[in-house]
Chain A
């Protein structure tokens, strides 16, 4: 900018376009008389001069690399998550089935029954007269996954509506 911006431009400072605003700021940073007019209404306007301070280039160059590294890391994550998801999903399904199956067999009021891993090993006759409803597992697959004191039994029977 050649010379001083003039009173009009100083009073219209807030409405100036970006480029013109920056030119005026550069002038104001070094021109006491113009600055005194500009700051007359509000000295806190002086902080607008901080706009012409540059962020160090070294910080900005490093930033681009940081951003790209962060993007690479994020882009790599979904693939890994998808790969692990299948196994996690299967494990969760097995566990859920085990817990539900175990609950159905060992729910309160249900006496302990001899169950052996395999197919069609539970004998309904053993529960006759006990009031316990026993489904005939003639066509069912029963798996004992008991761990320690926790009885976990999986029953696969198409008649079980769970």
Chain B
């Protein structure tokens, strides 16, 4: 997604020392930064520590940001590196907890039948458990591609590797996660035969 004019203005103002503009930038980016950090570290406290460090680094380095480049890629790069460092420094966690429910989420869920709905809480638990088997960069590549929807080129820029390396990381990560899902969570992702989907789509 190209940089919006508003965001461009905010970056320029924040780089000039405008704290209110920077607060607005935090508000725009904090959720994706925390979610990415959380999916890589598997721990909300660690994710918040990473996010704090990321925004501090952004505040101190905004002057060096090249506006011709994609701001989100730069943010992801700092986030991913900080999260990987955190992951490596503290080792795997024993117990991983999914994100707490937002108020109102349960109410929305009630509207859908149980059979149709995927249990995202269990899905999150499964991811945190299975992703523990991935190398930090494989995990980061998978999170950026599948959970954050980033392009391969952007992931390559964020991780500081080639696109070919990203594709290799993704291939390995998918293979590991797919095998783990089938082995440890066979009922979590209900699958029907190809023909059963015709009704819906």
Contact = CB atoms under 8 A, between A and B. Distances in A.
A116 interface: no
A145 to B, nearest CB: 42
A70 interface: yes
26 contacts: A16-B149, A33-B197, A36-B190, A37-B200, A43-B191, A44-B146, A44-B181, A46-B118, A47-B127, A47-B146, A47-B147, A47-B177, A49-B118, A50-B39, A50-B127, A51-B35, A54-B31, A54-B99, A54-B102, A64-B23, A66-B52, A67-B52, A67-B55, A67-B59, A68-B23, A71-B56
A104 interface: no
Contact of B123 (A10, A33, A46, A55): A46
Interface of A: 4-7, 10, 16-18, 21, 28-37, 39-40, 42-57, 59-60, 62-64, 66-68, 70-71, 74
Interface residues on chain B, size class = 35 or more
Contacts of B191: 36, 39-40, 43
B26 interface: yes
Contact of A43 (B1, B142, B178): B178
Interface string B27-41: 100110011001100
Nearest to A37: B197
A51 B147 contact: yes
